[in-house]
Amino acid sequence: MIDPAGSVMRGITLKKFIRLVAVLATLTMVAAACGSDDDSGDTSAATTMAPAATEAPAATEAPVAALSELNVAYFLEWPTANQVAQVEKTYDERLGMTVNWLPFGSGGDMALAMEAGDIDIAYSQGLTPFANFVTSGSELEIVGVAVSYADADNCVAHPDYGVTAANAAETLAGQKIYAPVGNVTHYKLLKMLGHLGVSLDSFEHVPSDGGAAAVAAFESGDVAMACAFGGGVLSMLDAGGNLVMTGSEQEAIGIRVFD
């Protein structure tokens, strides 16, 4: 298993650079000469030489406060090796601090939490939400790739609709597809439908509220296909659904994603 400590430390350095590094203002002191007149009517001004200007102190960086804990966002049902180290407290031991693992439902929510300063690192956030936020002006940066796992992120067709790769253009016409918006799952759905010749205006896209909601929508029979990642995909397959395209089939046509 890849040693996680290095990538975590790079994340800390970046975060603290953005949040804590500041430059002190340069202070300058200049004394002016003063003149005075005496009561005898002597009009000659008593003058004194102005003291030399004090040299401004060099600008310095504010010290970075030592961390006592680290907040890391992650997905509950996303099968990544970090969760083993999470349970075994490997990160806490290597970093010498408490690492708080906070579950999130989407990469977009992770990005919002990072912008708010509530999260230091988003683990396996997803390339698509990262790209969306960065192009909108967010100061997030990638410090490493966590995983590429095509089979754990997919769309499952409901058995009542008979959707396959061969007939998707016909069977999905006029139907509902339950899928998230603006994440890797959404990106894969669009690329897959494009490959299968499914027109994007031929079906209704119902925005997803997460894996559990996708499973509920699938089991209700109201949607022809539902898209999710991790445990949601497995639950829909267990309920009788079928993959329109497997992860390896998607990779074979160039649909490759990284988290």
Residue ranges of domains in the chain, CATH in brackets: 1-10+68-147 (3.40.190.10), 150-252 (3.40.190.10)
Q: Is the pLDDT of residue 33 over 50?
A: no
Cα 210 from Cα 16, distance rounded (Å)? 31
DSSP string for the chain: ---SHHHHHHHHHHHHHHHH--BPPP--B---------TT---PPP--PPPPPBPPPPP-BPPPPPPSEEEEEE-TT---THHHHHHTTHHHHHHTSEEEEEE-S-HHHHHHHHHHTS-SEETT--HHHHHHHHHTT------------GGGEEEEE-GGGT--TTTHHHHTTT-EEEE-SSSHHHHHHHHHHHHHT--TTSSEEEE---HHHHHHHHHHT--SEEEEETHHHHHHHHTT-EESS-HHHHHHTT-----
> Roughly how many angstroms between the first and final C-alpha of the chain, as a whole number?
17
Give the range among 34-48, 115-129, 221-235 with minimum mean pLDDT: 34-48
pLDDT at 13: 35
Distance CA 200, CA 205 (A): 9
**pLDDT for the residue numbered 136:** 83
- Mean per-residue pLDDT, 251-255: 93
Q: Which residues contact 174 (CB under 8 A, 6 or more apart)?
A: 202, 203
**Average pLDDT of 4-23?**
36
Residue 29 vs residue 238, higher pLDDT: 238
Question: Looking at residues 230-240, what average pLDDT do you find?
Answer: 93
* Strand pairing category for 176-179 and 225-229: parallel
Mean pLDDT of 77-102: 88
- Residues 131-154 pLDDT 10s: 778 888 888 887 777 777 778 889
184/35: higher pLDDT: 184
